[in-house]
Structure 1
Amino acid sequence: MTSIDHWIEAHARFTPNRPALVFGGATLTYGDMAGAIGRVAAWLRHTRGVRHGDRVAYLGLNAPDQLLLLFAAARIGAVLVPLNWRLAPPELAHAVTDSGASLVIHQPAFAATFSQMAAVAAMPPAHLCDPATGGLSTSTADSLPVVAGATGGGRASDPLLIVYTSGTTGRPKGAVLTQKALETNALNAVHMQEITATDTILTVLPMFHVGGLNIQTTPALYTGARVILHDRFTPATTLAAIRDERPDLTVLVPATLSAMIAHPDWERTDLSSLRAVATGSSDVPHMLMRAFIRRGVPVLQVYGATETGPVAIYQRRGDSEEEFGAIGRAGLHTRARIMVGDRRAEPGEIGEIELRGGNITTGYWNRPDADADTFRDGWFRTGDLALADEGGVFWFKDRLKNVIISGGENIYPAELERVLGEIEGLKEAAVVGVADLRWGESPVAVVVREDQALISAETVLKGFDGHLARYKHPKSVVFVEALPRNALGKIQLDKVRKMAEDVLGNDSEKQRA
């Protein structure tokens, strides 16, 4: 296998005039895209001094620039670090410094954010790219000499993406995905969704996540399909695009499914072009999936993580009604097993999902400690609980880790608990996820006041301002007399969650954000 930029070069040879990317009313053909990748690769190497193995960070909404950077980085063996623009400046600064990025490319809308990042830690040089004026495709038009695929030096084994996620400690860590991992993931995704060169894909989820980038977008470019790219999701523009552009496939998480169903245009929008909608990232509410199924649109669940590409376990069209609610079968190029301790689970027995395949991360950037905790004899330990039935169908049950998934975003309680620990008037605190019809889950802070403290829920919530991204903030604060602990003094989170559910259900003292 060669570097993945050869996907685009091959399509440019066979079908140079076929549309590759549609964005903001403009279209890049595969021929256009191949040329732009060569220019961006030349600009990175010759103008910005990026070499094999160097990291380049991207901060911006969805735009062709991110995909051009991905394939240009692949060509020269560099590594792209997509930044989650929803994070607070200190969180973004950590990703840049931890990855050792030598360049940050950002859109004009994030210039102030970059300045705030620089106030937190020393930042590398930055380059402004404006999608409104053509972005990197235009600004690198005079780059010479163009770096051709044959002279680029990128290899299948090269790291290509460092995507930041967090573990149970809440410390962000960068999952490393190689070029081989992206190609293996693409093969799984093509098999899952039967993607062909004649398809049109609608991408509305953010590509700083592997869900938005790799469930359909890069697999579509692997096959030579057409990708319609939105800078961000809104229900109105997504429904209008389905009506007018007639896409074959799109990916939606529970929060976006819910927003579309609730929109006034939902019932009157013609969805008949959609062959399927892919969804995942959390335990998807059945009522959301059934709303699409009632409109004649199959819903395919996909299971995975940042570390798995993410496409690892999935459903396909035609899976039986009896499998509704399952997460599917192990992917074409991925092995999956359920482990109970050190043994394989029996069919129907709940245990931890472990995965192995070419799509799996090679490890975490500069975190051998995390690698040791995450891998068992070459198998990736997901920390998620499921069972597999006699037919090899996997059924998700719960999360072994404490991660909260809200609207498709990972929220890690330890991060919130550290902020709570700095708020005066609080004695102790724990953060748990509670069921939320719209977001899947929402974080709730369960706190104990210091003796005589009069701190309010509003004050607690304000304590998160400027420290964490807004979507991570607790949606509610519940005051209790004490947190339940076991004999070893460890907080019993299942009991804390029950306390939160009881109080919120009874509409006791709480504050919704």
Structure 2
Amino acid sequence: MRVRPVTGDDPREILRGLRRALDGAGPSLGLGVVPGVAGDVPEGTAVVVTTSGSTGVPKSVILGGDALAASARATADRIGSGAWLLALPAAYVAGLQVLVRSVVAGHEPGFIDGSFTPRGFAEAASALSSDAGAGTPTFTSLVPAQLTRLLDAAERDEAVADALRSFARILVGGQALAPAVLERAEAAGARIVRTYGSTETSGGCVYDGIPLDPVSVRIHRGEVQVAGPTLATGYLGAPELTAHAFVRDRDGTRWYRTGDAGILDEDGVLRVRGRLDNVIVSGGVNISLDRVERIVRDVPGLGEAVVIGVPDDRWGEASVVVAARGEALRRSEAVQLEEARGAVAAEIGPHARPARLILVDHLDTLPSGKPDREAIRRTVLALH
């Protein structure tokens, strides 16, 4: 079975091909497939999603129609079924799943004309509610940066505020949602569900820390691992990578190794602590940059900041906070940095304090909306 590459990112074209692929009537779709990465895919493959992620290393993930549908049904079982608004790129798994859920639910999805803007979001939300009809709940999926932008706009635009309140649930994933942003959203009347997952799990598979019903989560040697019918088949043209990422235990259960550090608390709630490999060694001490970043984002004005590691002549490596100008301009850079350093020192220790704060005009992002950490790191190294 071969893959038909989809050029461009027209969501309506992707939806047409997706319907055929899910029905088994059409070829598998190749979204973002890198030239030179090819090969046969197993029968039942609906989509191959190629994503570079935040590290810049491309991976072509094979997703079966059964896995995508299982994820869509599990979401409906958890939050309800209805009409969905696509506010994310359809070529990435979070946007793709909005289309899959629409197909499974039997509702036409809503689309935003042009690029994402708060006004465009509000108009599309209103049109979706009207088209879906009274009594049909509506849903959407966002990344934290989009939610923050909408909340800012809602303070001065009642149409945007109404749009946020109109959805039965708004899924937010792609990266951790800062507690302060969640509080703002809830105060604005938005019903937020924080999601955790990846392309390899057909999108979000843990909602507000609780796995969806067909999904199992375990912590093995500190790593979050996921099992269940939503797992990808593997990676196109990369059998060694597939064998490393997807493993079977003694009873035959197939687990996906996420590479994330996490814990399961007494109530079975998953708490992700960051990437196992996003660690620097500063002065001989291991420091999780994800943990530092979560703390820094609680500092006023640094809610979207990114923390990256850079070489340091004295300590070997050090962390740097990178933030967009805007809110941070209301106070001096020195004050912002000291607040961030103080917060990190209080929770982790003085050894983990970031060395610098760098303000940029804008933070580089991937098409999925996530920070492009590799591009941000290159920018910092050029300045360093």
- The TM-score, its normalising length taken from structure 2, stands at 0.69
CA contact (8 A) 1:277 1:297 kept: yes
2:124 match? 241
1:191 match? 77
Tell me how far 1:439 sits from its aligned partner: 7.6
CA contact (8 A) 1:239 1:260 kept: no
Aligned residue runs from structure 1 range 365-444, under 5 A? 365-377=236-248, 378-402=254-278, 440-442=304-306, 444=308
**Equivalent residue pairs, number:** 302
The counterpart of 1:300, out of the listed 187, 193, 200, is 193
Q: Are residues 1:181 and 2:13 paired?
A: no
Tell me how far 1:372 sits from its aligned partner: 2.3
Task: Decide whether aligned partners of structure 1 residues 194 and 398 sit closer, same or farther in structure 2, where only a CA change above 3 A counts.
Answer: same
Q: Distance between the aligned counterparts of 2:127 and 2:19, measured in 1? A: 29
Q: Distance between the aligned counterparts of 2:246 and 2:194, measured in 1? A: 25
CA contact (8 A) 2:223 2:262 kept: yes
Q: Are residues 1:481 and 2:352 paired?
A: no
Q: Are residues 1:281 and 2:145 paired?
A: no
Q: Are residues 1:203 and 2:67 paired?
A: no
Equivalent residue of 1:501, what SS? coil
Q: Distance between the aligned counterparts of 2:359 and 2:121, measured in 1? A: 37
Tell me how far 1:100 sits from its aligned partner: 5.5
Aligned residue runs from structure 1 range 82-121, under 5 A? 82-83=31-32, 95-99=34-38
1:159 match? 45
Tell me how far 1:200 sits from its aligned partner: 2.7
CA contact (8 A) 1:444 1:500 kept: no
Tell me how far 1:499 sits from its aligned partner: 8.4
Tell me how far 1:201 sits from its aligned partner: 1.6
Q: Deviations over 1:254-293 (max 9, x none)?
A: 1101111222665512244221211011111112222221
1:253 match? 143
Tell me how far 1:243 sits from its aligned partner: 4.4
Identity of aligned residues (%): 25
Q: Distance between the aligned counterparts of 1:384 and 1:259, measured in 2? A: 27
CA contact (8 A) 2:39 2:237 kept: no
Task: Decide whether aligned partners of structure 1 residues 208 and 483 sit closer, same or farther in structure 2, where only a CA change above 3 A counts.
Answer: farther
1:70 match? 18
- The TM-score, its normalising length taken from structure 1, stands at 0.53
Name the aligned partner's letter for residue 227 of structure 1: P
1:501 match? 354
1:136 match? none
Tell me how far 1:73 sits from its aligned partner: 3.5
2:326 match? none
1:473 match? none
Aligned residue runs from structure 1 range 119-138, under 5 A? none
CA contact (8 A) 2:59 2:235 kept: yes
Equivalent residue of 2:231, what SS? coil
Gaps in structure 1 of 5+ consecutive residues? 1-52, 84-91, 102-153, 315-326, 341-350, 404-412, 414-431, 448-479, 485-491
Name the aligned partner's letter for residue 260 of structure 2: D
Task: Decide whether aligned partners of structure 1 residues 483 and 171 sit closer, same or farther in structure 2, where only a CA change above 3 A counts.
Answer: farther
Q: Distance between the aligned counterparts of 1:165 and 1:369, measured in 2? A: 18
Task: Decide whether aligned partners of structure 1 residues 165 and 329 sit closer, same or farther in structure 2, where only a CA change above 3 A counts.
Answer: same
Equivalent residue of 2:116, what SS? coil
Q: Distance between the aligned counterparts of 2:266 and 2:86, measured in 1? A: 35
Equivalent residue of 1:371, what SS? helix
Tell me how far 1:298 sits from its aligned partner: 1.4
Tell me how far 1:511 sits from its aligned partner: 8.0
Q: Distance between the aligned counterparts of 2:307 and 2:152, measured in 1? A: 23
Tell me how far 1:76 sits from its aligned partner: 3.8
CA contact (8 A) 1:308 1:360 kept: yes
Task: Decide whether aligned partners of structure 1 residues 72 and 371 sit closer, same or farther in structure 2, where only a CA change above 3 A counts.
Answer: same
Equivalent residue of 1:311, what SS? strand
Q: Distance between the aligned counterparts of 1:337 and 1:376, measured in 2? A: 13
When structure 1 is superposed on structure 2, of 203-212 and 221-230 the one drifting more is 221-230
CA contact (8 A) 2:173 2:204 kept: no
Q: Distance between the aligned counterparts of 1:390 and 1:445, measured in 2? A: 33
Q: Distance between the aligned counterparts of 2:185 and 2:3, measured in 1? A: 40
1:141 match? none
Tell me how far 1:402 sits from its aligned partner: 3.0
The counterpart of 2:229, out of the listed 330, 333, 358, is 358
CA contact (8 A) 1:178 1:361 kept: yes
Q: Distance between the aligned counterparts of 1:61 and 1:506, measured in 2? A: 31
Q: Are residues 1:229 and 2:111 paired?
A: yes
CA contact (8 A) 1:205 1:232 kept: no
Q: Are residues 1:213 and 2:96 paired?
A: yes
Q: Are residues 1:446 and 2:310 paired?
A: yes
When structure 1 is superposed on structure 2, of 432-441 and 371-380 the one drifting more is 432-441
Q: Distance between the aligned counterparts of 1:358 and 1:278, measured in 2? A: 21
Task: Decide whether aligned partners of structure 1 residues 158 and 291 sit closer, same or farther in structure 2, where only a CA change above 3 A counts.
Answer: same
Q: Distance between the aligned counterparts of 1:170 and 1:225, measured in 2? A: 35
Q: Distance between the aligned counterparts of 1:355 and 1:287, measured in 2? A: 28
CA contact (8 A) 2:226 2:258 kept: yes
When structure 1 is superposed on structure 2, of 287-296 and 224-233 the one drifting more is 224-233
Name the aligned partner's letter for residue 238 of structure 1: F
Task: Decide whether aligned partners of structure 1 residues 171 and 201 sit closer, same or farther in structure 2, where only a CA change above 3 A counts.
Answer: closer
Task: Decide whether aligned partners of structure 1 residues 355 and 68 sit closer, same or farther in structure 2, where only a CA change above 3 A counts.
Answer: same
Gaps in structure 2 of 5+ consecutive residues? 130-136, 249-253, 281-288, 321-350, 361-379
Name the aligned partner's letter for residue 186 of structure 2: I
Q: Distance between the aligned counterparts of 1:64 and 1:81, measured in 2? A: 15
Q: Deviations over 1:463-497 (max 9, x none)?
A: xxxxxxxxxxxxxxxxx53661xxxxxxx5xx445
Tell me how far 1:401 sits from its aligned partner: 3.2
The structure with the larger Rg is 1
